[in-house]
């Protein structure tokens, strides 16, 4: 959980924030003035500052400026009252995450705080390259095979150049991780890093999110708003899923690349900005160009420095290492012992096709770890966690958190007609037998009694469902 600094001269407001945020599991520090807040940042930089604009002594804007000198990546939300909005807008221009108008609704401010913390984590969370100390503590790009070594070299070459970088690869291959690694190894590593996901934001909002707008630019634009690109001035902007960017916005991005200028919506004057762009996509850009969905001129600019991330099935040599890395990381995060993997489990992982790439491998191990009982994960555990796509077995547990009813519904829509009833019955049967064996600690005689089945019938079922229950003799 995060450490948040509240700076406001209003004692009541400080106290309500302390209570509210402590309830969310955050650590809260509070200061009654800009000067005191600045001293606290000098002492130790928090994950986020939530600060008032108008305070006696040093005002919020001056304090924010001074805090940013101490920590250029400091995340801040500025609270403003009617009449001081201009100052709050100034603060966003200097890189504050956002501002809120007092009085605000609690769910809104909590949502804003969550987003600011997420954005801050992407900026600060170190991404290690290859197995390293960082791999043990934070996130790392794992892989020692030829393909990943090429990626590391390309990151090393591209990072310090300030050049536009395009990262391509299937979903789950690590594009976002690579983007952060490029940023962290760049000359702008101590400046902000802002992520814009071009598909997550509706088209109408994306333009104003990126470029901002002037007061009155459209109905509802009651005050000027500074866009993300301007906020990231002298820093890096990561345009994720650029292949899905609407054509109107592509034109504006092209202009940014060519002229280093942007225009706010409804603005009269171009604003000079200095940002480095990193872009990523899993789309077939060439097809998008030929279908007229992606500008050819932008495509040619983007592709000059391209980093291609191989799908996991083309770098299987890294799977054992990745599996160890994920198990170590998740068991540390969940504060449970790392069960490790049997050699057969490693083999099963290494031969799976992984259509969802590294993300799917990570999710599978996460799930397997949750269901683990201390013993090294077996081939069977892996099959179960992978969700039945491995070796054609039906999974006993449904997808993480999915109820049996929704699993049934999904199977009925996806596999309509293909023996759906039998498959579902097998699924349930497998689940029931697994649970019974679990209760009896693997004792088949007792499990059979529990289920009201004869022992041979139970053994036949175990065989049919491919359940392997260790070496228990019972």
Ligand X SMILES: Nc1ncnc2c1ncn2[C@@H]1O[C@H](COP(=O)(O)OP(=O)(O)OP(=O)(O)O)[C@@H](O)[C@H]1O
**Rounded to an integer, what distance in angstroms lies between the CA atom of residue 410 and that of residue 396?**
15
CB of 318 to ligand X, least distance (A): 7
CB of 110 to Mg ion, least distance (A): 25
Among 169, 192, 387, 388, binds ligand X (CB under 6 A): 169
- Residue 173 makes contact with ligand X by CB under 6 A: yes
CB of 127 to ligand X, least distance (A): 8
Among 3, 59, 162, 176, binds Mg ion (CB under 5 A): 176
Residue 310 interacting partner from Mg ion, ligand X, none (CB closer than 5 to 8 Å by kind)? none
Which tokens in the block code for residue 303?
């592709």
Nearer of residues 358 and 433 to ligand X, judged by Cβ: 358
- Residue 175 makes contact with ligand X by CB under 6 A: yes
Q: Which stretch binds ligand X (CB under 6 A): 25-33, 153-161, 208-216, 356-364?
A: 356-364
Q: Which residue is nearest to ligand X (CB)?
A: 174
**Rounded to an integer, what distance in angstroms lies between the CA atom of residue 73 and that of residue 58?**
21
CB of 139 to ligand X, least distance (A): 5
Among 84, 233, 282, 364, binds ligand X (CB under 6 A): 282
**Rounded to an integer, what distance in angstroms lies between the CA atom of residue 35 and that of residue 61?**
12
CB of 84 to Mg ion, least distance (A): 37
- Residue 426 makes contact with Mg ion by CB under 5 A: no
- Residue 315 makes contact with ligand X by CB under 6 A: no
Q: Which stretch binds ligand X (CB under 6 A): 165-173, 218-226, 253-261, 422-430?
A: 165-173
The pair phi, psi for residue 159, each rounded to 5°, is -55, -55
Residues contacting Mg ion: total by CB under 5 A? 2
Q: Which stretch binds ligand X (CB under 6 A): 98-106, 171-179, 230-238, 416-424?
A: 171-179
The answer to whether the beta carbons of residues 89 and 100 sit under 8 Å apart is no
- Residue 172 makes contact with ligand X by CB under 6 A: yes
CB atoms within 10 A of CB 401: 6
Residue 177 interacting partner from Mg ion, ligand X, none (CB closer than 5 to 8 Å by kind)? ligand X
**Rounded to an integer, what distance in angstroms lies between the CA atom of residue 92 and that of residue 468?**
59
Burial of 204 (0-12, 13-18, 19+ CB in 10 A): exposed
**Rounded to an integer, what distance in angstroms lies between the CA atom of residue 308 and that of residue 139?**
20
Among 37, 60, 143, 235, binds ligand X (CB under 6 A): 143
Q: Which residue is nearest to Mg ion (CB)?
A: 176
Nearer of residues 52 and 318 to ligand X, judged by Cβ: 318
List Cβ<8 Å contacts ≥24 apart for 26-33: 26/1, 26/2, 27/1, 27/2, 27/3, 28/3, 28/4, 29/3, 29/4, 29/5, 30/5, 30/6, 31/5, 31/6, 31/7, 32/7, 32/8, 33/7, 33/9, 33/57, 33/58
Q: Which stretch binds ligand X (CB under 6 A): 51-59, 172-180, 337-345, 418-426?
A: 172-180
DSSP string, 108-173: HHHHHHHHHHHHHHHHHS-EEESSSHHHHHSEEE---SHHHHHHHHHHHHHGGG---EEEE-STTS
Q: Are strands 193-197 and 212-213 parallel, antiparallel or unpaired?
A: unpaired
Residues 177-236 that bind ligand X (CB under 6 A): 177
**Scanning the structure block, which residue is given the tokens 């393909």?**
147
**Scanning the structure block, which residue is given the tokens 């990523």?**
280
Residue 7 interacting partner from Mg ion, ligand X, none (CB closer than 5 to 8 Å by kind)? none
CA angle 102, 110, 221 (to 5 degrees): 50
Binding map of Mg ion across residues 154-173, x = CB under 5 A, - = no contact: --------------------
Nearer of residues 34 and 172 to ligand X, judged by Cβ: 172
Among 316, 359, 446, 468, binds ligand X (CB under 6 A): 359
The answer to whether the beta carbons of residues 275 and 257 sit under 8 Å apart is no
Residues contacting ligand X: total by CB under 6 A? 17
- Which residues, other chains included, contact 12 with Cβ-Cβ below 8 Å and sequence gap of 6+? none
Binding residues vs ligand X (CB under 6 A): 139-143, 169, 171-177, 282, 358-359, 362
Q: Where does this chain bind Mg ion (CB under 5 A)?
A: 175-176
């Amino acid at each position: 959980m995060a450490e948040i600094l509240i700076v406001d001269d209003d004692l009541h407001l400080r106290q309500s924030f302390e209570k509210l945020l402590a309830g969310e599991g955050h650590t809260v520090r509070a200061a009654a003035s800009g000067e005191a807040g600045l001293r606290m940042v000098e002492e130790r930089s928090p994950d986020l500052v939530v600060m008032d604009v108008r305070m006696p002594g040093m005002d919020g804007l001056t304090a924010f400026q001074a805090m940013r000198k101490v920590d250029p990546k400091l995340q801040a939300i500025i609270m403003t009252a009617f009449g001081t909005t201009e100052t709050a807008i100034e603060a966003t221009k200097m890189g504050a995450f956002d501002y809120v108008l007092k009085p605000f609704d609690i769910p809104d401010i909590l949502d804003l705080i969550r987003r600011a913390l997420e954005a801050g984590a992407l900026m600060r969370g170190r991404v290690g390259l290859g197995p390293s100390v960082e791999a043990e503590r934070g996130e790392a790009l794992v892989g020692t095979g030829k393909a990943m070594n090429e990626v590391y070299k390309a990151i090393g070459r591209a990072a310090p150049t300030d050049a536009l970088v395009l990262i391509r690869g299937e979903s789950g291959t690590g594009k976002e991780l690579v983007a952060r690694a490029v940023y962290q190894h760049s000359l702008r590593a101590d400046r902000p890093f802002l992520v814009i996901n071009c598909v997550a934001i509706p088209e109408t909002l994306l333009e104003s999110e990126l470029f901002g707008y002037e007061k009155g630019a459209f109905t509802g634009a009651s005050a000027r708003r500074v866009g993300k690109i301007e906020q990231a001035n002298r820093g890096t902007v990561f345009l994720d899923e650029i292949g899905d960017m609407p054509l109107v916005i592509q034109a504006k991005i092209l202009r940014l690349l060519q002229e280093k200028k942007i225009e706010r919506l409804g603005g009269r004057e171009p604003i000079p900005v200095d940002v480095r762009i990193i872009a990523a996509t899993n789309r077939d850009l060439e097809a998008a160009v030929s279908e007229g969905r992606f500008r050819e001129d932008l495509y040619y600019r983007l592709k000059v420095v391209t980093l291609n991330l191989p799908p996991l099935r083309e770098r299987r040599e890294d799977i054992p290492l990745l599996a160890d890395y994920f198990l170590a990381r998740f068991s540390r995060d969940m504060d449970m012992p790392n069960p490790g993997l049997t050699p057969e489990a490693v083999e099963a992982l290494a031969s799976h096709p992984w259509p969802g790439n590294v993300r799917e491998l990570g999710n599978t191990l996460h799930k397997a770890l949750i269901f683990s009982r201390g013993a090294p994960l077996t081939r069977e555990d892996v099959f179960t966690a992978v969700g039945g796509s491995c070796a054609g077995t039906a999974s006993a547990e449904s997808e993480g958190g999915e109820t049996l009813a929704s699993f049934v519904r999904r199977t009925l829509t996806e596999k309509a007609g293909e023996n759906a009833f039998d498959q579902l019955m097998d699924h349930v049967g497998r689940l029931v037998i697994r649970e019974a064996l679990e209760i009896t600690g693997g004792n088949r005689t007792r499990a059979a009694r529990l289920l009201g089945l004869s022992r041979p019938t139970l053994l036949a079922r175990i065989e049919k469902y491919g359940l392997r229950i260790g070496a228990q003799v019972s």
